[in-house]
């Protein structure tokens, strides 16, 4: 059976990209990272793609006068690479409804909070300011509205006494590196179905929710 071909869109370090690359290194994995596209030429994630022998492209948003041209180039590159599923991994551009609908239910994102709480930027500082006792991350299908869409996988981490935005971010990032490959794996196995803007996991177990114990 052919493996699901994954395209990853990045803008920076690419640590979630690396998690996806590592997960697909096993030939038995149901998905493979087939293409990496960066919106910036100096993104560190490009070196990760090259080291893994994965085709990469730079489509610099600054080279376009309007989002339409930028997104048309993204779309053409993804389709030219025969991509089945697109993963946003630190991709720092807001996509228009045109692009989102072109890839509806084949475009996923990871956000460092338990959506629908704490959408947007400065997530970890806002979690701490709110007094919340738990945080985490969410993998979801992308919709036109920011950080909206059917939830596929979530992971929960406690907020610890003395946490700073940086320490909380590091704890959540470790969860992201587990959640994103899991979500891609479930999709590649054909176990994810969107019904009425809710995700159904076929043959679901607790494996599609992750919790960690910070004490051991």
Query: Active-site residues: which are they?
Result: 111
* Calpha distance 118→130 (Å, rounded): 10
Which residue matches tokens 């709480």?
A: 117
Please name the helix (run of DSSP H) or strand (run of DSSP E) that holds residue 166, with its range, or none: helix 165-188
> Can you say whether residue 10 is alpha, beta or left, with left for phi > 0 and alpha for psi between -120 and 50 degrees?
beta
Q: How many other C-beta atoms can be found within 10 angstroms of the C-beta atom of residue 182?
A: 19
Whether residue 67 contacts residue 96, with contact meaning beta carbons closer than 8 Å, is answered with yes
Q: How many CA atoms lie within 13 A of 6 on its CB side?
A: 30
């Amino acid at each position: 059976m052919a493996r699901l071909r994954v395209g990853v869109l990045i803008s920076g370090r690419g640590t979630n990209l690396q998690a996806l690359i590592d997960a697909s290194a096993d030939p038995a994995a149901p998905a493979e990272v087939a293409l990496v596209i960066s919106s910036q030429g100096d993104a560190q994630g490009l070196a990760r793609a090259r080291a893994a022998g994965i085709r990469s492209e730079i489509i610099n948003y600054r080279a376009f006068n309007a989002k339409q041209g930028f997104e048309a180039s993204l779309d053409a590159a993804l389709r030219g690479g025969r991509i089945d599923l697109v993963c946003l991994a630190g991709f720092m551009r807001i996509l228009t409804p045109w692009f989102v609908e072109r890839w509806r239910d084949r475009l996923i994102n990871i956000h460092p909070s338990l959506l629908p709480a704490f959408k947007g930027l400065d997530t970890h500082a806002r979690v701490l300011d709110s007094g919340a006792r738990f945080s985490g991350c969410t993998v979801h299908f992308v919709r036109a509205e920011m950080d909206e869409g059917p939830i596929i996988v979530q992971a929960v981490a406690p907020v610890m006494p003395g946490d700073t935005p940086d320490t909380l971010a590091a704890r959540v990032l470790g969860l992201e590196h587990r959640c994103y490959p899991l979500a891609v794996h479930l999709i590649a196995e054909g176990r994810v179905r969107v019904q009425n803007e809710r995700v159904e996991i076929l043959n679901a177990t607790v494996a599609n929710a992750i919790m960690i114990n910070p004490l051991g």
